[in-house]
Amino acid sequence: MTNILNSGAEPPKVKLVTEVWGPIQSLMAARRNVLEIIPLAATKQPIVSGRTVQVRWHMVMEPDAIGQVLKEKLDIYPKSDVTKNLLKPAIGDSMFIAEGAHWRWQRRAASPVFTHRNIANLAPIMSTAADATCMRLDNANGTVDMYEEMVAATFEVISNVTFSGTGAMDSAEVHHAINRYIDQTARISLFDVIGIPTWVPRPFRLFQPNALKKMKGIADTSIRKRREQGAKPIPDLLDLLLDGEDPETNRQMNMAELRDNLLTFIVAGHETTALTLSWALYLCAFDPEVQDKLRIEAQSVLQGRSATAEDCAHLPYTEQVIKEALRLYPPAAFISRTAQANDTLCGREIKRKDTIMLPIYALHRHHDLWNKPDQFDPERFANGYKPKRYSYLPFGDGPRICIGAQFAMIEAVIILATLISRYKFTRIEGHDPKPVMVLTLRPEGGVPLKVTRL
């Protein structure tokens, strides 16, 4: 069965369910691609509820109700139990999954790490990664899987802002360990998140203890060495985190907390940014007019050099294209929570222990919120247009909004503008990527594009 629709005017999307499916049919579909279990109604209704064997779930698409979940009633809607149980072996009780006071102090301690100034200081690492990608593309011949390339580029960035310079390991070994680590984290079935019973076979079951141990060992060695050596001349994420302190309690992170948060940055920030760039490049190939317009902007600002943080303010169209890529293919396509008390959302009764899903993929294609929702149109974001609050959530919202959003946006703008200014990307007929939800929204089959040096 093919689930890809490609009507010419619209880039690939998942065919959403139109009929009522029984539990077994849902399970079968969900094992293929979690996005397939989103009913088409989720792009037209404010709330859709159902039950999957053990759990009552509600998909919420109405912006005010989403605001209740993400901001107003944070205590009633903490991160889902299953997300926490699954991620804990990998990233401990780090900022991503901690709740209440333990989350709050970590978030306060880490916030200064991601100030605009600190990110701008680290941006040369992003420009260097863009240049390194160009060198690889110059040596490649014709068709290149741009997903693999973007994973390599964002890996270079994240490893250079976390582990580099400590001599903890050689970079190939770190790369290998991180890849295995992320792969295992990403393979956690989204089914787990919506409470599919454990007897349903998963393609991959949790983490191999060895890969986890290896990764934690690398992180621990890096932290220890950096403590001995002192901060780098331009402090990176590890230095800034080592320095971080909760201004209210003066508490600093201990070794385990530092390591868990550092690993969280890697898991949360590496592949998500690679996906953003891969989908953006695919969309540029899909719509050559957009690509031409992007190139005119990039070439006139960059004049042959690679992009820097200072250029970002002068690359508004590049930012629009990235925002539109994040709308159509949000890397975090689901946000999930477990209700801790009875409540009402959109007039529907929510019971304690119900799973609340915010299907960002469906929200971003909702017919009440977006004009021609399935079409690629970066003009939607022209002139700094801000969508209605809680209708556009690639980075979530409320107090638990992505702490690395600005880091990711600057990185994506720098890499996309640099590449587009130097290469033409052409779509390969019959090889359009299919959006598939693992833990993130990935392009099945990669993003093979013909790359031509200009």
**What phi-psi label fits residue 287: left (phi over 0), alpha (psi between -120 and 50 degrees) or beta?**
beta
Q: Which region among 141-149, 241-249, 370-378, 402-410 touches ligand HEM (by CB under 6 A)?
A: 402-410
Q: What angle do CA 211, 214, 217 make, to 5 degrees?
A: 150
Quick note: the x/- pattern for ligand HEM over 175-214, rule CB under 6 A, is: ----------------------------------------
Q: Which stretch binds ligand HEM (CB under 6 A): 25-33, 58-66, 282-290, 330-338?
A: 330-338
Instruction: Based on the shown chain and the rule CB under 6 A, indicate whether residue 96 belongs to the binding site for ligand HEM.
Output: yes
Are the CB atoms for 356 and 78 separated by under 8 Å? Answer: no
The stretch near ligand HEM (CB under 6 A) out of 37-45, 222-230, 263-271, 441-449 is: 263-271
Nearest to 5 by CA among 434, 426, 359, 361: 434
Closest residue to bound ligand HEM by CB: 404
Distance separating alpha carbons of residues 111 and 403, to the nearest angstrom: 7
- Under a CB-based contact definition with an 8 Å cutoff, are residues 277 and 327 in contact? no
In this structure, the number of other CB atoms found within 10 A of the CB of residue 140 comes to 12
User: Binding residue for ligand HEM (CB under 6 A) from 13, 79, 214, 364?
Assistant: 79
163 binds ligand HEM (CB under 6 A): no
The candidate with the shortest Cα–Cα distance to 151, out of 133, 169, 134, 135, is 133
Query: How many CB atoms sit inside 10 A of residue 391's CB?
Result: 17
Q: Which stretch binds ligand HEM (CB under 6 A): 38-46, 346-354, 370-378, 398-406?
A: 398-406
Token digits of residue 177 = 């360990």
Rounded Cα gap, residues 108 and 21, in angstroms: 44
Pick 29 or 392: Cβ nearer ligand HEM? 392
Largest CA distance in the chain: 61
Does residue 404 interact with ligand HEM by CB under 6 A? yes
Q: Could you say which of 118, 264, 308, 320 contacts ligand HEM (CB under 6 A)?
A: 264
Q: Is 403 in the site for ligand HEM (CB under 6 A)?
A: yes
User: Counting contacts by CB under 6 A, is residue 68 touching ligand HEM?
Assistant: no
Closer residue to ligand HEM in complex, CB, 137/393:
393
Closer of 27 and 219 to ligand HEM (Cβ): 219
Q: Which of residues 216-235 bind ligand HEM (CB under 6 A)?
A: none
DSSP assignment of 240-271: HHHH---TTT-----HHHHHHHHHHHHHHHHH
Tell the residue number behind the tokens 């949360």, with chain if given.
268
Question: Could you list the residues that contact ligand HEM (CB under 6 A)?
Answer: 79, 95-96, 107, 264-265, 268-269, 272-273, 276, 331-332, 335, 394-396, 400, 402-404, 407-408
